[in-house]
Structure 1
């Protein structure tokens, strides 16, 4: 932990600033231990982890340049943000695309992390200060990039991928993962956090009866005090239900235990929960294998598979449902989206493809067009 001294209303104050264990931003010492624990839990685990990483970068920058991390000077923060937008490390797809400097989303997270640390210590940081606002606006204008979205893994392709998976524990597990992710339109962390029948140490529960399978998320991204419940009827998703229940039986998953587990190279099924970061690799591997079975060269198949990510199952469900004519309300009943415009983006894209004037005879440049 870091102990910082700062001035509040002219009086020198000492406060516990940040504990890096689990990425928690801890409030000042005036709160009781239980109150501090609940305050730390106000942010999702992934958010705490992201904030902790950005806070470490900010404090390291301050130490190297003789600046005060907390309370921070908004001009110093603006300078740091601008520096990272120009010189910051680039990774993943952005590096392959030749991008320079860090993405605007990363910089916004950095600013939010600094703001959260101040708020936790009862200090007001004006994150809307003119210099910060103008620098961020300028970065958006000067460094506009195409947002890299995961390709949707539509039902047709997914069915082919699942159908080709065999009987090894790893293949049975992966078929269940793909089925769960698509049928319930869940995020990778939500999939990895599922327990069977009752909540163990995960974030949600997978249960079943004679009519349907149900996922109840107790802790989730859009949490507003109520569990998020999604139901998949047996008679509408036979392939998904079969794949999921086949895995549960093979792995002998007991009540309260993780549904998705690690499988060792020798085929041994462990009781260790599958890590959320493994989901993208599993999806890409199975998609690449599918294309290679179709005769696609390995390099091309791998490049195509890299278009997909852990979000492709959720995106694939939304896109497939929208293209089939499902309403925004129907899609949201499964995904749990709180933002109607986000879901309308899926339906709008489907509508553009379905009602394109280029499909009208005589409009599109086809061999049937009249001169």
Structure 2
């Protein structure tokens, strides 16, 4: 199944994942997911359902039960006794299931259905394997979240992946199938490469990153790569994220459809920008500039760094850095809005014990 979640039979946990805000209130909502059942209880237990936005009031519960080493799948609108399929499904086999919730006018009239497939979804919506009739279970006022349950009474041990949330059958087919996503590091640059086996309605990919180590760190947009629309042929993509400071980073792709829907694909491993091998100070960029510009500098070890600005006559104009810095890749941005246009020089001096590194470069301020 790939990078999946395992629902075990120990420790009670309920997860509510919002896919749509505000939630849908009319028509039908479809939730598809891949499942691989490892073990189930003969009494049957549920592991998934759908919920309103920001609410634990779930409906459309999906059940699994063991019957003579075969598996039966079931569904219930609320917490009434579920309807089950015949016990024709196998353990340790991946199935694609679709849960359907349909809004129907009136009170307690909404219905739920369940579809089960052993490979891909058909292009047109078939008759569901199971469908509940209207009953006394209250209706939901909106549907925007998927609920996942672990170790509820008689719950199964099941692997799930590929959760997909849409309001039409046509949109249930995954628009993009990612078959690889990896990263390589060259000095302070990260080269991201990924491939798709097929694409449908693919506008493109936003690349996002954040500093690793704190889940509260904000994801930042690093770039965009145009997609190939609809194609049944493999496609290969690459982008370079340049000029990172020393540290650990996480990356993800935000695949965007032409209709605005999107899915996230996370890079499995963190990316680490290490320590350079030698001292270096870059040409400022942009150059010419007005009034702000940046300079990159590399330190193979910690040291005291002093960077000063001089005019063409050698007079000191400004000190932009004068502090102790750790070894690594660094960037500084500064502003010369207070001086006139002309040619200027910046000089970096790094002092460590009895060693000193000095380098000077020219830049142009053009107002």
TM-score category (smaller protein)? under 0.3
Between Structure 1 and Structure 2, which shows a larger proportion of helix residues? 1
Between Structure 1 and Structure 2, which shows a larger proportion of strand residues? 2
Q: State TM-score, norm by structure 2.
A: 0.19
Q: State TM-score, norm by structure 1.
A: 0.19
